Structure 1
């Protein structure tokens, strides 16, 4: 998660009762990059290999989702996707952004999808990498998702549990993940405020399937937002067949599958991700 030498502008903004930390780089039509929900995740760390490339053409804005990084902790466990979506919509309003491209990985992808269903006018296009909430209530959780949801249970967070999750379940080639990267995420994951209120953990039952699984939401069939789905064929957190589930339901959905790639397409296949995302968003940007 080591950054390049580019200089990010970082700030905090009040969204309702929450403080949302964000960084940005570049000029042009706004792109909001929404990170995943794994232990210790944050915006800039999730997209360290992508921000500079995309900022060559776009205004790239990278928030820490509520519950993560330097943003206010605590998330509505009954409807986390909706809570995150509402917060990012409020975040856009505070920044004076009428609409934006959304890039979302895992939890960030679920947040983007919920935004597109709730307020489609706010979303110019979406690039989704292994998004959460796609067919998740129709089958047992994957081993990787179980590892994520159980991180704060039992003996609580340990660096061994995090190392196993990242190297064996998050990416295809675990050897590519440095100990420094694991140590950085572990430090974030044991913030006392996070431990007191983990942002993503196993729900106690699912009271409303539609809120947890987009394939059960009839609005998906009517969602006209241009969408590019990027999924690793070896994703052990969210099942790759979610890509076909989205494409079969969404009117304007393109899919690219990456071989020998896990849950973190933007990090594992950096050059391809940057190029195809740039081209897709350029095609759907206002002139």
Structure 2
């Protein structure tokens, strides 16, 4: 768990409050968490911040709609909205370029920011990112579990524990009960319950939203020169592991590492390997980053 002293801040981005924690010094690295119920930046990267802060200035925001950041997002173009907010955060911090690390929902936001403003992103690390082939086939069982959390009989600790144990990680026992408790309490914030940040697109613009959220349909992807490290658990039940080779074969400067006995939360389940790979990839003498 994180033992490094974290400085906590809240600033205003595009008229909305955004919370972030930071530690370390050096090149800026922004950690973007996933979109599961009750997620937050520091809790999602609790096993990584110490290792990365030894080499980099680590910035860990709560994504809009989560944690201590303002609730509500633009659901007509979620990834575009999140990318704009992260770019706004960099602007407020006076950071011209940063490395972006994104898991799932945060991975989709990081990739969208690189597509929209490649000059702002130095290198990318994507762990089981969302938005990869999402219009090609039915949603996975894990994604269905995530998206149904606030529907039906509403949120409950049992539903959250089921999602985490059965879909988020390969070994459900690796997630302590106190972390599930923490996430459950965050997930039932009245503002979040009234307007969950991650839901199935609906209404007359639903089809357009789905297409926007499938980043493999973005024609800019094949020309994105940003050095990218793709990490994917072979047992990911939320975002299909086939997305890894899809990105590898589409992006011109991508490397792919897939690990066995790993689900959707590689940064937690394989934290030592994750920290080693990411530190090397983002380092000045990286053999993986070619340009």
Same fold (TM over 0.5): yes
Distance 1:72 1:184 in 2: 18
Contact 1:128 1:228 in 2 (8 A): yes
Over aligned residue pairs, what C-alpha RMSD do you find?
Answer: 1.0
Instruction: Say which SS state the counterpart of residue 135 (structure 1) adopts.
Output: coil
- Equivalent residue number for residue 25 of structure 1: 23
Distance 1:118 1:4 in 2: 32
- Equivalent residue number for residue 141 of structure 2: 143
Equivalent of 1:189, from 157, 182, 187? Answer: 187
Shift in Å, 1:179: 1.2
- Equivalent residue number for residue 39 of structure 2: 41
- 2:157 equivalent to 1:159: yes
Shift in Å, 1:156: 0.6
Distance 2:175 2:251 in 1: 34
Distance 2:261 2:128 in 1: 14
Shift in Å, 1:207: 1.6
Report the CA distance shift for 1:189/1:209 in structure 2 as closer, same or farther (over 3 A).
Answer: closer
Distance 2:209 2:98 in 1: 29
List gaps (5 residues or longer) in structure 1. Answer: none
Shift in Å, 1:11: 0.5
Distance 1:217 1:184 in 2: 36
Shift in Å, 1:5: 2.6
Where in structure 2 are the equivalents of 1:5-24 lying within 5 Å?
A: 5-24=3-22
Contact 2:3 2:50 in 1 (8 A): no
Shift in Å, 1:42: 0.3
Equivalent of 1:76, from 74, 77, 97? Answer: 74
Instruction: Say which SS state the counterpart of residue 207 (structure 1) adopts.
Output: helix
Equivalent of 2:173, from 172, 175, 190? Answer: 175
- Equivalent residue number for residue 273 of structure 1: 274
Shift in Å, 1:176: 1.4
Distance 1:150 1:187 in 2: 17
Distance 1:272 1:211 in 2: 33
Shift in Å, 1:203: 1.0
- Equivalent residue number for residue 254 of structure 2: 253
Contact 1:135 1:242 in 2 (8 A): yes
Contact 1:209 1:216 in 2 (8 A): no
Report the CA distance shift for 1:208/1:188 in structure 2 as closer, same or farther (over 3 A).
Answer: closer
Q: Which runs of 4+ in 1 moved over 3 A?
A: none
Instruction: Say which SS state the counterpart of residue 21 (structure 1) adopts.
Output: strand
Q: How many pairs are equivalent?
A: 283
Instruction: Say which SS state the counterpart of residue 23 (structure 1) adopts.
Output: strand
Contact 1:210 1:217 in 2 (8 A): no
Shift in Å, 1:206: 2.3
- Provide Cα deviations, 1:224-269, integer angstroms capped at 9, x if missing partner: 0000000000000000000011011100000000100000000000
- Equivalent residue number for residue 232 of structure 2: 231
Shift in Å, 1:214: 1.0
Shift in Å, 1:85: 0.3
Distance 2:184 2:149 in 1: 11
Distance 1:249 1:209 in 2: 20
- 2:126 equivalent to 1:125: no
Distance 2:218 2:80 in 1: 13
